[in-house]
């Protein structure tokens, strides 16, 4: 299934390093290149009479470029970690590093044909080509963990085949540890910050996303959950061609959802209303959330006016307790009840009992701003808001306060990312959405939970 109408694979195909030794060597080359760049830059600065700090030498544009290039070549968990750092910490990173790491969201290189053949031979057996009338070895999309090919079988199926890069699953733990070490070395991650649980959660998330049987199961589950909502379309999984590293689905058309910027206002409003409504159902009714905010996960059929949902690798079940805590947080914001919000933030893990009151109030301030669309009873105009900038300023100010370095649970951060992703898409489409009305229905008059995931 396409991630966009424009191919992301203009760059020449590049084989994915499959062995741990080769992947570690590439990371070693990156570290060596960064060290060499530091030395050269230090000499230049000293020659000018400057006394540069180590961090300034590490975070030069050339070193940032070396880091991004090597992560892009590695793909897999290494590239995914770089993407996450770019998305989650872009406003805290030095401009040169933030700009270059952001390339990792779209610069994936595709596998050469011979490597694709190796993967498919291993999964489908020799002679698998006889089952297909056509198979395009030029991928429609290439990302951090795999790439997508279009194919037609002799029995008439039009398919999108997602093929995982070799060695991705086996290298997840070492890639995450090695990249985290390099990021610490670069000064991006403060040494005082304990990210052990974050790294463990990241490894588990990546192991989950690399299991295509798991993803296929969630795809089928969403098809069941959304049977009462024909405005959404999901591709059907084809079990006879699906393995842990190859996922076969219906090919679906449509246009990228972000391409609707020039569509009539009512279309843009409707699409974003559908997306926000779906997310609220996921959290509070299904307790099963597709947590990846990538715009490419959504397409729109302009003829049927249906929203196409793609890619369920990042799907996470949520316990009733956390769903209820987020319900109280949103409800508190809607009622402007800071005490309710404070209790919910404490329960979720945004701060602890011992947290200083000024930090507690700062967290609640950020929460009130982030949930501003939920309070607007007239429909929130995302086309006329500076909400992301205001929230970002509050988060940055709190993040730079060394007396408050609290990392919320991963499940909470994933929900933040998903809501934030919808905000950004709504801003891009300049949509007006009655988020308040959707929340009233989801929180104060919820549907039956007979189909919940847990």
Q: How wide is the angle at C-alpha 21 spanned by C-alphas 18 and 27, nearest 5°?
A: 90
* Chain Cα centroid distance, residue 199: 16
Contact 282, 422 (CB under 8 A): no
Distance CA 98, CA 294 (A): 18
DSSP 5-39: SS-S--SPP-PPP-SHHHHHHHHHHHHHHHHHHHH
Contact 394, 342 (CB under 8 A): no
- Backbone angles phi and psi of 137, in degrees to 5: -80, -5
d(CA 372, CA 370): 6
Among residues 91, 211, 250, 292, the one annotated as catalytic is: 292
Any catalytic annotation for residue 292?
Answer: yes
H helices of 48-75, in order, are 54-58, 61-74
* DSSP characters over 388-420: HHHHHHHHHHHHT-TT---PPPHHHHHHHHHHH
- The beta-strand segments (E) located in 165-314 are 232-233, 246-250, 255-256, 288-290, 298-301, 306-309
Distance in angstroms (rounded) separating the CA atoms of residues 65 and 82: 12
Contact 409, 348 (CB under 8 A): yes
Of 206, 211, 165, 173, nearest to 15 by C-alpha is 165
Cβ atoms within 10 A of the Cβ of 64, count? 25
SS percent in the chain: helix, strand, coil, step 5: 55, 10, 30
Residues with active-site annotation: 292
């Amino acid at each position: 299934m396409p991630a966009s109408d424009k191919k992301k694979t203009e760059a020449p195909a590049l084989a994915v390093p499959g062995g741990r030794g080769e992947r570690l060597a590439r990371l070693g080359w990156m570290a060596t290149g960064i060290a060499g760049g530091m030395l050269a830059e230090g000499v230049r600065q000293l020659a000018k009479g400057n006394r540069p700090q180590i961090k300034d030498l590490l975070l030069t544009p050339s070193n940032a470029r070396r880091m991004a290039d090597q992560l892009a070549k590695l793909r897999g968990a290494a590239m995914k970690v770089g993407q996450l750092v770019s998305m989650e910490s872009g406003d805290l990173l030095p401009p040169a590093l933030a700009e270059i790491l952001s390339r990792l969201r779209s610069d994936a290189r595709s596998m050469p044909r011979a490597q694709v053949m190796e993967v498919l031979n291993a999964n489908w057996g020799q002679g698998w080509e006889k089952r297909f009338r056509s198979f395009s070895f030029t991928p429609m999309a290439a990302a951090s963990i795999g790439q997508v090919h279009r194919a037609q079988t002799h029995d008439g199926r039009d398919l999108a085949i997602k093929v995982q890069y070799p060695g991705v699953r086996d290298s997840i733990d070492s890639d995450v540890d090695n990249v985290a070490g390099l990021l610490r070395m670069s000064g991006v991650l403060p040494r005082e910050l304990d990210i052990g649980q974050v790294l463990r959660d990241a490894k588990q998330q990546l192991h989950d996303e690399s299991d295509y049987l798991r993803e296929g199961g969630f795809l089928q589950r969403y098809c069941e959950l959304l049977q009462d909502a024909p405005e959404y379309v999901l591709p059907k999984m084809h079990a006879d061609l699906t393995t842990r590293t190859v996922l076969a689905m219906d090919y679906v058309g449509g246009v990228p959802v972000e391409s609707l910027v020039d569509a009539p206002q009512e279309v843009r409003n409707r699409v974003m209303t559908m997306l926000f409504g779906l997310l609220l159902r996921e959290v509070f009714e299904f307790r099963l959330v597709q947590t990846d905010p990538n715009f490419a996960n959504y397409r729109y059929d302009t003829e049927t006016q249906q929203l196409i949902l793609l890619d369920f690798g990042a799907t996470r079940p949520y316990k009733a307790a956390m769903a209820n805590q987020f319900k109280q947080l949103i409800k508190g914001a809607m009622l402007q009840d800071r005490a309710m919000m404070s209790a919910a933030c404490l329960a979720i893990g945004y701060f602890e009992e011992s947290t200083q009151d000024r930090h507690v109030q700062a967290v609640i301030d950020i929460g009130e701003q982030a949930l501003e669309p939920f309070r607007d009873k007239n429909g929130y105009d995302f086309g006329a808001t500076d909400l992301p900038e205001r929230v970002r300023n509050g988060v940055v100010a709190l993040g730079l306060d060394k007396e408050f370095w609290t990392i919320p649970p991963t499940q909470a951060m994933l929900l933040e990312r998903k809501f934030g992703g919808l905000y950004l898409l709504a801003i891009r489409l300049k949509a007006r959405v009655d988020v308040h009305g959707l929340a009233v229905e989801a929180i104060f008059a919820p549907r039956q939970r007979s189909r919940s995931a847990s």
